[in-house]
Amino acid sequence: MFDFREYLRMEMFPHMLCPGCGHGIVLGALLRAIHSLKLTKDEIVVVSGIGCSSRLAGYVDFNTLHTTHGRPLAFATGIKLARPELTVIVITGDGDGLSIGGNHLIHAARRNVGLTCLLLNNQIYGMTGGQFAPTTQIGRVSTTSPKGQYETPFDSCKLAEAAGASFVARGITYEPSALEKLIVAAIENKGFSFLEVASDCPEFFGRFNKLGNPADQILMQKQNVVDVEAAAALPAERLRGKMLTGILHHEPRPEYGAVYAESVA
């Protein structure tokens, strides 16, 4: 029987996540995925940066590094090169991973380093005061855009694919079982795996933008997404304004560490 407590540092609880935050759903899916893959705790390294999502590394009973803002992929690259037998998982946010850490993201993808990057996208800097992020939708209110922000947001999955990631997918917290399967597929890929997860922030994002309670916000995910396989049969006008979920790109190619080790040998 699966017991979450087997994989958690119970002395770190209660957690600091706000009621209704989607990050707990992501953590649950990640732990179920690890359990299904039968990975031991000593085989796993979880690396995070700074932000609400990055605090998850402190709750899991694996080898963990809570690093500096925007730098988890740089630390994780070093770990994977030094200890290629380990399963290295990065948990980052849309601010940590796409703003100050954006350069590390594109180069980890370009190199095809054997990491799994979970980017939890809540469209806001939730921990540091509610500033708008690189993924905040046009017109949305934040503490730094009280009349709405008007910078074009990143599509992080398109960015990762264009940079060279061999596996790119998107999941949502409304579908935790599907998310678990995507995490399994991401970990099983031998190169750089990028998985964006739409995860609600009920406080700085939801409350500021009058999106209702946490249940209302998670239901909005259902209304605004289309699975990539279903999308293939729909006309373009039906997909306008929708977000695609599922495996968006998978093109296996040589993993950076393996190529580097072979060249050294």
| 7 is a domain residue | no
Convert the pLDDT of each residue in 181-200 to its tens digit.
Answer: 999 999 999 999 999 999 99
The residue with tokens 């009058």 is 210
* Rounded-to-integer distance, Cα 42 and Cα 175, Å: 29
Report how many domains make up the chain: 1
Residue 11 falls inside a structural domain = no
Provide the pLDDT confidence category of residue 176 given band limits of 50, 70 and 90: very high
Whether 202 is in a domain gets the answer yes
Residue 234 has pLDDT above 80, yes or no: yes
52 falls within a domain:
yes
pLDDT of 128 higher than 90 = no
Within-domain flag for 10: no
- C-alpha–C-alpha distance, residues 197 and 94, integer Å: 10
Task: Compute the Cα dihedral for 69, 74, 80, 82 and give only its sign.
Answer: negative
Q: Is residue 13 part of a domain?
A: no
Q: Dump the DSSP string for 52-102.
A: TGGGGGGGBSSEEEE-STT-HHHHHHHHHHH-TTSEEEEEEEHHIIIIITH
Q: What is the pLDDT of residue 129?
A: 87
Cα–Cα dist 116/190, whole Å: 9
- Interval 7-36 mean pLDDT: 95
Q: Provide the pLDDT confidence category of residue 2 given band limits of 50, 70 and 90.
A: confident
Distance CA 135, CA 99 (A): 9
The percent of residues in the chain predicted with pLDDT above 70, rounded, is 100
Confirm whether 145 is domain-assigned: yes
Phi, psi of 144 (to 5 degrees): -100, 5
The pTM assigned to this predicted structure is 0.96
Strand partners, 114: none
* Domain membership of residue 136 as a residue range: 19-264
What does pLDDT average to over the chain? Answer: 95
Q: Tell me, what CATH number does 82's domain have?
A: 3.40.50.970
Query: Given this model, what pLDDT does residue 265 score?
Result: 87
Angle between helices 156-163 and 102-111 (to 10 degrees): 40
Residue 2 lies in a domain: no
> How much helix, strand and coil, in percent to the nearest 5, is found in the chain?
45, 20, 35
